[in-house]
């Protein structure tokens, strides 16, 4: 099989490189950034994801850098009252793998360290500028230096604003949602004990919610506030140009009248990163993920709102399935492998996309809908908050 090309070296791209490596496929990995940094902040990893990391032999490294929360707690952000909780301490027994929290950069570094440079040639500061199909459907790929290559297959793992998708699928840009994510990291040594507990906590209010959990062995608290806004900016990247003082003012305005505890922790944050959320409609068919010898993976294929905490998880599941399809079709043409990959993945990804959109409506509910949500959580939180269909399968 000819050498494959992976465009994008985020979590999805690195997972794809590792999956190809484990199947003995030679690959190139292109990343437009000149170096890796502390991109993003914390992420949650459900058992469906940590199970894959274990299968890739990364469990020992993962245990050193991840936090294991003991519970997922839902609160009413108006008064701080607990609405319900899901015990996470028994997830390993129930699902065969734990529920973990981790800094995105730490997970990225773990995957990066597992890449064998003799099998996966990685090229930083190397952007893809064009892709088209040549004879017999073979992709022709041009980089920023003008070099043209013809790999056996291309995996577009280049994120929400995927150049691969834009050029070949030509289905327009992502849709701005009007939802904004404000992210910060707080040293827990400066916080009161209530903020240091090994828990994932979700505070829900009309038009917004906040999520926080520990990362980096409990030394930091990852906090994100997600707010609905009339400001429907469509812009790539994790950072929108807004002064820290303006972000603070926006957040305090959005959280006016809510629990004083939330305002207290907001005042403790010195640096914020603003992220304007965009998404796409849920996948409709395998064609949305693979065409011929070109496939999309992760956010390039199925960007989703972060209200299921499964963006990274679905990207890594994609990579896992890519390896399974390669194993199932040894020696087959890459187009057959990628069609099998897309057929296996599109419906599950679409379900998570739809569920994430629905969660946004539930978390941000107003009036009678909020009252009904709170009542349901008080009566049946463990059943409503658990996701066996998600955590128990991949």
Instruction: Tell me the backbone φ, ψ of residue 80, rounded to 5 degrees.
Output: 80, 5
172: left (phi over 0), alpha (psi -120 to 50) or beta: left
Six-digit token pair at 291? 């065409």
- Bridge-based pairing of strands 208-215 and 199-205 is antiparallel
Strand partners for 232: none
Give CA–CA dist 21/209, Å, rounded.
Answer: 40
CB atoms near residue 21 (< 10 Å): 19
Strand partners for 75: 82, 203
Exposed, middle or buried by CB within 10 Å (0-12, 13-18, 19+), for 245?
exposed
Instruction: Tell me the backbone φ, ψ of residue 59, rounded to 5 degrees.
Output: -65, -45
Residues designated as active site: 213
Q: Find the angle CA(162)-CA(44)-CA(324) to the nearest 5 degrees.
A: 60
Q: Find the angle CA(262)-CA(368)-CA(182) to the nearest 5 degrees.
A: 30
Six-digit token pair at 165? 């998708």
- Bridge-based pairing of strands 208-215 and 148-149 is unpaired
Q: Are 226 and 183 in contact (CB under 8 A)?
A: no
Strand partners for 228: 179
């Amino acid at each position: 099989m000819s050498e494959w090309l992976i465009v994008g070296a985020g979590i999805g791209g690195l997972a794809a490189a590792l999956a190809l490596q484990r199947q003995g496929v030679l690959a190139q990995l292109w990343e437009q950034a000149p170096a890796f940094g502390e991109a993003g902040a914390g992420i949650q990893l459900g058992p469906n994801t940590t199970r894959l990391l274990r299968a890739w032999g990364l469990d020992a490294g993962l245990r050193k850098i991840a936090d294991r929360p003991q519970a997922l707690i839902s609160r009413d952000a108006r008064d701080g009252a607990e609405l319900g909780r899901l015990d996470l301490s028994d997830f390993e027994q129930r699902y065969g793998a734990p529920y973990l929290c981790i800094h995105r950069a730490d997970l990225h570094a773990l995957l990066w360290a597992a890449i064998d440079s003799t099998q996966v040639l990685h090229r930083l500061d190397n952007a893809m500028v064009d892709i088209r199909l040549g004879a017999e459907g073979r992709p022709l790929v041009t980089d920023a230096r003008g070099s043209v290559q013809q790999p056996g297959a291309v995996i577009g793992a280049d994120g929400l604003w995927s150049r691969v998708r834009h050029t070949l699928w030509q289905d327009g840009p992502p849709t701005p949602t009007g939802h904004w994510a404000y992210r910060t990291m707080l040293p827990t040594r400066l916080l009161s004990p209530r903020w240091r507990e090994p828990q994932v906590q979700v505070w829900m209010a009309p038009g917004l919610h906040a999520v926080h959990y520990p990362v980096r062995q409990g030394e930091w608290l990852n906090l994100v506030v997600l707010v609905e806004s009339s400001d429907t900016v469509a812009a790539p990247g994790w950072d929108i140009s807004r002064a820290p003082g303006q972000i603070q003012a926006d957040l305090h305005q959005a959280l006016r009248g809510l629990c004083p505890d939330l305002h207290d922790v907001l005042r403790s944050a010195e640096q914020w990163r603003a992220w304007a959320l965009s998404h796409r409609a849920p996948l409709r068919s395998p064609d949305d993920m693979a065409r011929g010898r070109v496939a999309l993976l992760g956010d390039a294929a199925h960007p989703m709102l972060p209200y299921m905490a499964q963006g990274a998880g679905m990207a890594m599941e994609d990579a896992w399935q890519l390896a399974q399809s390669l194993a199932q079709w040894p020696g087959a043409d890459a187009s057959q492998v990628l069609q099998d990959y897309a057929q296996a993945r599109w419906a599950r990804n679409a379900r998570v996309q739809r569920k994430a959109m629905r969660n946004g409506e539930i978390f941000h509910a107003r009036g009678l809908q909020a009252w009904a949500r709170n009542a349901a959580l008080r009566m049946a939180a463990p059943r409503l908050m658990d996701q066996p269909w998600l955590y128990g399968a991949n």
